[in-house]
Chain A
Amino acid sequence: MSKRTVELHWGKHHQNYVDGLNKQLATSMFYGYTLEELIKEGYNNGNPLPEYNNAAQVWNHHFFWESMQPESGGSPEGGVLQQIEKDFGSFTNFREEFICSALSLLGSGWVWLVLKREERKLSVVCTRNAISPLALGDIPIMNLDLWEHAYYLDYKDDRRMYVTNFIDHLVSWHTVTLRMMRGEAFVNLGEPNIPVA
């Protein structure tokens, strides 16, 4: 990911969402809410309120910057790897599915690795525009921006190269591990599924 892209993406796009949100909050009933509350309330069950887009994009981009680390990528270790192998079969399967999902998203959006609360497993999901898994009740573990502004300067229309480079060289499994640890405080991954008689 080039310096120019990060400069523009963080310095302009992300900044604009922050400024836009602050401007909206000055006269909004959501003034004083935390960002996560804003996203959950603002989503309004699929009928997003005006503040939603800016709030979600601020959150999504922040999450995105933290999902990456220079010269990282490769594969995870320990507990995270175990969980991925459990839920996807193998790390290779997960990687394939991640790339595949990212390529099948039509238009702008994000691709996520989430921890699903109900199913109690990791899953790859795509969301359109600014939709956040937070609003849908799941725990985000890692994301990748698929809006064209995220990759156009570096890769033009080649979204596949962009996603492959991200998963192979940029994603921070460090951060993923930390987020998984936090997520496990809310989702019990250790318990067997005991059917109710």
Chain B
Amino acid sequence: MYRRCSALLALVAEAMALRTLASRKALVAAALGGARPLSAARGVATFALPDLTYDYGALEPAISGEIMQLHHQKHHAAYVANYNKALEQLDAAVAKGDASAVVQLQSVIKFNGGGHVNHSIFWKNLKPVSEGGGEPPHEKLGWAIDEDFGSFEALVKKVNAEGAALQGSGWVWLALDKEAKKLRVETTANQDPLVTKGINLVPLLGIDVWEHAYYLQYKNVRPDYLSNIWKVMNWKYAGEVYENATA
């Protein structure tokens, strides 16, 4: 147990060093899952921290600039760095045929990879008010919401309730079940991506309810954070994802 622990710490320490070297390049593709990997000389793809398309302070007063900066430059960056490191270690373990090492790396990969995937979606789910943030959904997505939840207000209420009730850290999602062709509200724990709740689920909107996402501004009052984040919600993006998935 102790040896494994030191190995994990070494991973983090190296990841910190790696982070300062990692370049911050803009998203290459508007793919659903987030940043596409940059090709690396080693042959193992490395991931990069995607840029935001708005300033850190542009989402105020719903989310403070301080939180946005920490969230992006510290938390998300750490997930990316640790993910890259873990993938390197995985590559080495697979090459050596070290089965138990491969299995042991899974939780770190899921956590950091999930963190990268989830946050990449999250930044696209938010938009400054001046650029359309907070405008409710229209057309296909709007009608689907009315059909599956009764009304837009009912959806918001459901997401807020489930987000507030989530114990510990996690995410609350508005998901499209591609197979059932229905919208659903789902929650995932820690950094588990939405697909862990169902292979056919497509994330339309995700709200980070880890305390780091709101604590500096809202303290323990998670419900206030949830009710305010709708003011900067990027329904346009969600609508695009929905239309692509139901085309």
Q: Which residues of A contact B (CB under 8 A)?
A: 8, 12-13, 16, 53, 93, 96-97, 100-101, 103-104, 106-109, 128-130, 147-149, 152-153, 156-157
Contacts and interface: CB of A to CB of B under 8 A. Distances in A.
Interface in B72-106: 74-75, 78
B211 interface: yes
B199 interface: no
Contacts of A107: 111, 168-169, 189-191
Given A97-B5, A100-B2, A148-B211, A156 B70 contact: yes
B152 interface: no
Interface stretch (B123-131, B175-183, B214-222): B214-222
20 contacts: A8-B219, A8-B220, A12-B219, A12-B220, A13-B220, A93-B2, A97-B2, A100-B6, A100-B9, A103-B12, A106-B108, A106-B190, A106-B191, A107-B169, A107-B189, A129-B167, A148-B169, A148-B215, A152-B212, A156-B70
Interface residues of B, number: 26
B215 A157 contact: no
Contacts of B45: none
Interface of B: 2, 5-6, 8-9, 12, 70, 74-75, 78, 107-108, 111, 167-169, 189-191, 210-212, 215-216, 219-220
Nearest to A88: B2
Contact of B5 (A8, A101, A147, A153): A101
Contacts, number: 66
A118 B168 CA distance: 30
B111 A106 contact: yes
Contact of A108 (B111, B169, B216, B219): B169
A103 B220 contact: no
Given A97-B5, A147-B168, 7 more contacts: A12-B219, A53-B167, A104-B5, A106-B191, A107-B189, A148-B212, A152-B216
